[in-house]
């Protein structure tokens, strides 16, 4: 039976190299065969070398039980060759088993290291996701504060408009009252001689009413002026809050962008590490590694 390698090393190549080593009075081992061929991994050469050793006894015995060449040799030489063949076969088995154990141990260590690195990556990814969520919540809170400030400014504007309307109504009422007073004054003038005392009283009453109205009008004017000042201060405060909010929002967006970049770099780092690990591990260990990283790929989707 011949064992074929997917990397190009064939059973005939291993057989030829082992025969050459045997003709050079060297014990065929995995490393010597690999050095002779100049290629091939221990996992590939080892099984092929076992096949060569398994056919060596039959080749020494020949098709009739004993070859023509070995039959011509002294019995002691034949015994030495058979002993050498058994010793070489035993050593090849030992080297192969040791090499297989070393590779299994290395694969287990690399798998443990990979699991640890993947766990660290998942922890960092969770921390980044938590930080991004907190930043988003802060940004939403700022939007709510901006909306509340805008609503407060709208209420103040409505109050100023109401005061302006009240001041306008008072001014119109005063003008109407002055107009009516002038009419009344003219009527009183016509009756001056007959009602001089009444005219004097009306004039006094008019003056008092006029002072009172002017005082109220001035008070309303001062109140409107105060409200306008408060509105201007509130507008400035709102403008400053908007600028601060936009600056903070821009900083938050930059931080979110940097977190996305770091998350991408971590994913690329994990993918590169898995690719290097898959290239370094034997075929059987690769299938184990793929099963161990399957949950990570589902989480990424």
- pLDDT reading at 76 higher than 80: no
Residues 84 and 169 in one domain: no
Residues 133 and 249 in one domain: yes
Domain that includes residue 69, residue range: 11-106
283 in a structural domain: yes
259 in a structural domain: yes
Determine the Cα–Cα distance for residues 152 and 144; give it in Å rounded to an integer: 12
The upper half-sphere exposure of residue 58, i.e. CA atoms within 13 Å in the direction of its Cβ, equals: 6
Determine the Cα–Cα distance for residues 27 and 40; give it in Å rounded to an integer: 18
Residues 167 and 282 in one domain: yes
Please state whether the predicted TM-score (pTM) of the whole model is above 0.85: no
Residues 91 and 161 in one domain: no
Residues 272 and 135 in one domain: yes
* 8 Å CB contact between 30 and 95: yes
Residues 169 and 289 in one domain: yes
Residues 48 and 144 in one domain: no
pLDDT, one tens digit per residue, over 287-299 is: 545 554 444 443 4
Residues 41 and 20 in one domain: yes
Residues 6+ apart with CB under 8 A from 26: 32
* 8 Å CB contact between 142 and 249: yes
Q: Which has the minimum average pLDDT: 24-33, 147-156, 189-198, 206-215?
A: 189-198
Residues 93 and 125 in one domain: no
Q: What's residue 70's pLDDT?
A: 46
Residues 173 and 35 in one domain: no
Report the CATH number that the domain containing residue 264 is assigned in CATH: 1.10.287
Residues 101 and 131 in one domain: no
Residues 279 and 153 in one domain: yes
- pLDDT reading at 14 higher than 90: yes
Q: CA torsion 208→209→213→219, rounded to 10°?
A: 40
Cα dist from 261 to 45, 83, 185, 255, 301, whole Å: 45, 66, 86, 10, 18
209 in a structural domain: yes
Reported confidence tier of residue 270, pLDDT bands at 50, 70, 90:
confident
Number of domains composing the chain? 2
Q: CA torsion 6→7→11→13, rounded to 10°?
A: 160
Q: What's residue 81's pLDDT?
A: 65
């Amino acid at each position: 039976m011949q064992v074929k390698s997917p990397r190009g090393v064939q059973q005939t190549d291993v057989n030829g190299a082992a025969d050459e080593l045997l003709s050079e009075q060297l014990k065929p081992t995995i490393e010597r065969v690999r050095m002779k061929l100049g290629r091939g991994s221990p996992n590939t050469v080892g099984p092929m070398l076992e096949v060569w050793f398994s056919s060596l006894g039959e080749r020494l015995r020949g098709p009739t039980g004993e070859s023509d060449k070995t039959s011509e040799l002294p019995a002691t030489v034949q015994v030495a060759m058979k002993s050498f063949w058994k010793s070489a076969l035993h050593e090849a088995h030992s080297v192969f088993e040791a090499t297989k154990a070393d590779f299994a141990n290395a694969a287990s260590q690399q798998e443990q290291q990979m699991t640890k690195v993947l766990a660290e990556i998942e922890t960092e990814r969770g921390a980044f996701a938590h930080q991004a969520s907190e930043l988003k919540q802060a940004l939403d809170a700022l939007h709510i504060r901006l909306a509340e400030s805008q609503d407060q400014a709208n209420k103040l504007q409505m109050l100023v408009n109401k005061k302006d309307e009240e001041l306008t109504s008072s001014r119109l009422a005063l003008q109407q009252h002055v107009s009516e007073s002038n009419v009344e004054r003219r009527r009183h003038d016509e009756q001056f001689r007959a009602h001089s005392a009444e005219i004097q009283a009306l004039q006094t009453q008019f003056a008092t009413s006029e002072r009172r109205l002017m005082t109220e009008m001035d008070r309303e004017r001062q109140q409107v002026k105060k409200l306008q000042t408060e509105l201007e201060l509130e507008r400035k405060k709102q403008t400053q809050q908007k600028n601060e909010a936009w600056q903070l929002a821009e900083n938050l967006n930059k931080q979110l962008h940097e977190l996305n970049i770091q998350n991408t770099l971590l994913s690329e780092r994990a993918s590169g590490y898995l690719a290097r690990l898959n290239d370094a591990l034997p075929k059987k260990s690769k299938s184990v590694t793929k099963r161990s990283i399957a949950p990570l790929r589902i989480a990424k989707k």
